[in-house]
Amino acid sequence: MSLTNTFGDRFETVLHATQKVVSKEVVNAFSVGVFSLIVLGTLALAYFNPVYNWDILAYVGIAAEDQLESPDDIHKLAYGEVKEAASDLQFYKITASIPYRVNQYEQPEHFVSLFPMFRVKVGYIEAIKQLATVTDRVHATTIISTVSAAAIGLFILFWSARQNFVQGLMIIGPAAMLIGYTFSAREATPDLMMAAFALPALYFVCRERPLLAAPFLFMMFLVRPDGLLLFFALLLAALAVGRDRLIYLALFAGALLLYFPITSSADHPGWWPHFYFSNVEYQDDMRGFDPAFNAVLYVKALVVNLARTVQAFNWLMVLAIFLLGFALLLRNGANVTKGQWTAVIAITLCIGGKFVTFPLPDDRIYLPYMLPLLVVLMEIWKPVFSLENARDNRAGP
C-alpha cells in the first residue's frame, strides 16, 4: 500500500513542499554556505587570534639570521618580536613553562643551535623573508597561515564543483575542523602551507595527470622536505595500480636529489638526533649531539606517541573512519578510477610512513595528507542529501 493511498492528497502536498525546500539547488547552496562560514570563521581566527607556540621563535630567528652577526642579536630579535605580538600568557608558555624553554630564553647560543632542525623548511622560511620586507616577521607567519587557509577553502570549493560533490561540503567542513584545519590556521607552522600545495597536487593525481601534479608536489616538498615520503608513496601506489610508473619514479628521484642538498645546507643533524630530540628528550644544546641509534628507545617512542595520539588527538581515529568508509564504498560497488586508487593508496602509505619514521602525535602534522584524503573520498562517494527524486522513489501501490 502506497503512502498516497493511505494519507490521500495531503501526502502529495507535503511531498511537493518538501521537495522544493530540500531541492538540489537549495541543498547545494546550504552546503556551500556552511562550508564558507567555516572557512571564513577560520580566516578570522587565523588573522585576529593567532596562537604562538615555541616554534615561531625559531622561524623568526632563522628568517633574520642572515642580517645579524651573533647569536645574541638573533636571540634578542626573535624573542623581542614575539613578545610584542604575543599575550603575556603565550609569552610565558614559550619562555618559562618548562626548564627547557627557560634555558632557551636564557642561552642565545643554545637557542641558535636548534635552528638546523627548522632551517630545512626552506619554502616556509623564504615566504617569511619575502613578507618581512613589508611587515614584521611574526605578522608574516600570520599572513601565511591566513592565506593558506583561504587557498585551501577555495580549492576545495573548486574541486567539489568541478567533480560534482558540492553537497559533500556539509561533511568536509566539520571533518576538516576535526582534523585540525582551524587550529592549524592559527599556528605559526608550515603544515597548513604544505596542505595548500598538497591539495592541488592530489587533485591532479586523481585526474591521472602527474605532470600537472609535479609543481605542486615540489612546492609542498620545499615547505617541508619530509614530503619526500609522499613522492615515495606515490611511486609505490603507481606500481600497484600500474599507471604512470616511470613518471612517479622520475618525480621521486628528483625529490631525492634535492633532499640531500637541502638538509646539508641547513646543517641538519640527521634523522636519529632529530628523532631523539623530538620524541625521546629535549636537548638544551644541539651542538655536537649525535647519539647512537637505540632500537629500544625507538620502539618506546612509537608506543608512547601512539598512546598520546589515541588519548589526545583526532587524526588516527578519523583516518580509521575514512578507510572504513572507503571499504564500504568499494563493497557497495563504488566506481574508483586508477587516479583515485593511486591517491588513496599513496596518502594512506604516506601517513603510516610518517608516523613510523617520526611519530609526532599532533593533528597538524598529518593535516596535509588527511585533508586531500577526505576530499578524494568525498569525490568517490558523491553524497546526495537533496530530495529531488523523492516522488519517484516513494513506495508504489
Residue 397 confidence (pLDDT): 36
Name the CA radius of gyration of the chain, rounded: 24
Is the per-residue pLDDT at 362 higher than 80? Answer: yes
If one compares 390 and 302, the residue with the highest pLDDT of the two is 302
Q: Which letter does DSSP use for residue 188 in this model?
A: S
What would the pLDDT profile of 91-103 be if each residue is shown by its tens digit? 999 999 999 999 9
Q: Mean of the pLDDT values across residues 244-272? A: 97
Name 383's Cβ contacts closer than 8 Å, sequence gap at least 6.
165, 167, 168, 171
- Residues 202 and 218: their CA atoms lie apart, in Å, by 12
Q: Which long-range contacts (CB under 8 A, 24 or more apart) does 152-157 make?
A: 152/39, 152/181, 152/192, 152/195, 152/196, 152/199, 152/371, 153/35, 153/36, 153/38, 153/39, 153/42, 153/43, 155/196, 155/199, 155/200, 155/203, 156/35, 156/199, 156/375, 157/32, 157/35, 157/36
Number of neighbours of residue 21 by Cβ within 10 angstroms = 11
Residue 369 confidence (pLDDT): 98
Average pLDDT, the chain: 93
Residue 390 confidence (pLDDT): 42
Structural contact between residues 305 and 356, judged by C-beta atoms closer than 8 angstroms: no
Name 120's Cβ contacts closer than 8 Å, sequence gap at least 6.
225, 262, 263, 266, 268
Work out the angle between the directed axes of helices 338-357 and 295-312 (0-180°, nearest 10).
Answer: 120
Range with lowest mean pLDDT among 2-6, 60-64, 257-261, 266-270: 2-6
User: Bridge-partner residues for 51, per DSSP?
Assistant: 187
- Residues 190 and 269: their CA atoms lie apart, in Å, by 20
Number of neighbours of residue 65 by Cβ within 10 angstroms = 18
Read off the C-alpha cell for 374. Answer: 577526505
Distance of CA 288 to the CA centre of its chain: 32
Kindly give the residue spans of alpha helices, DSSP state H, lying in 137-270. 137-162, 169-178, 181-186, 191-206, 210-223, 228-241, 245-265
What would the pLDDT profile of 220-242 be if each residue is shown by its tens digit? 999 999 999 999 999 999 999 99
Distance of CA 98 to the CA centre of its chain: 28
pLDDT-based confidence at residue 386 (cuts at 50, 70, 90)? confident
Residue 206 confidence (pLDDT): 98
Residue 324 confidence (pLDDT): 97
- The type of residue at 252 is F
Residue 395 confidence (pLDDT): 40
215-230 b/e with 16+ CB inside 10 Å = b? Answer: ebbbbbbbbbbbbbbb
Number of neighbours of residue 111 by Cβ within 10 angstroms = 23
Residue 264 confidence (pLDDT): 96
Residue 15 confidence (pLDDT): 47
What would the pLDDT profile of 179-216 be if each residue is shown by its tens digit? 999 999 999 899 999 999 999 999 999 999 999 999 99
Q: Mean of the pLDDT values across residues 31-35? A: 97
Number of neighbours of residue 211 by Cβ within 10 angstroms = 11
Is the per-residue pLDDT at 359 higher than 70? Answer: yes
Residue 21 confidence (pLDDT): 62
What would the pLDDT profile of 107-162 be if each residue is shown by its tens digit? 999 999 999 999 999 999 999 999 999 999 999 999 999 999 999 999 999 999 99
What would the pLDDT profile of 325-354 be if each residue is shown by its tens digit? 999 999 999 999 999 999 999 999 999 999
Is the per-residue pLDDT at 60 higher than 90? Answer: yes
Is the per-residue pLDDT at 396 higher than 90? Answer: no
Q: Mean of the pLDDT values across residues 16-23? A: 63
Residue 69 confidence (pLDDT): 85
Q: Mean of the pLDDT values across residues 162-167? A: 97
Residue 394 confidence (pLDDT): 38
Is the per-residue pLDDT at 388 higher than 70? Answer: no
Q: How far is CA 220 from CA 113, 140, 199, 267, in A?
A: 26, 19, 10, 21
Q: How far is CA 334 from CA 73, 181, 337, in A?
A: 60, 28, 10
- Residues 215 and 213: their CA atoms lie apart, in Å, by 6
* Phi (first) and psi of residue 61, to 5 degrees: -65, -45
Q: Which letter does DSSP use for residue 292 in this model?
A: P
Categorise residue 7: left if φ over 0, alpha if ψ from -120 to 50, beta otherwise. Answer: alpha
Distance of CA 214 to the CA centre of its chain: 18
Residue 227 confidence (pLDDT): 97
Residue 18 confidence (pLDDT): 56
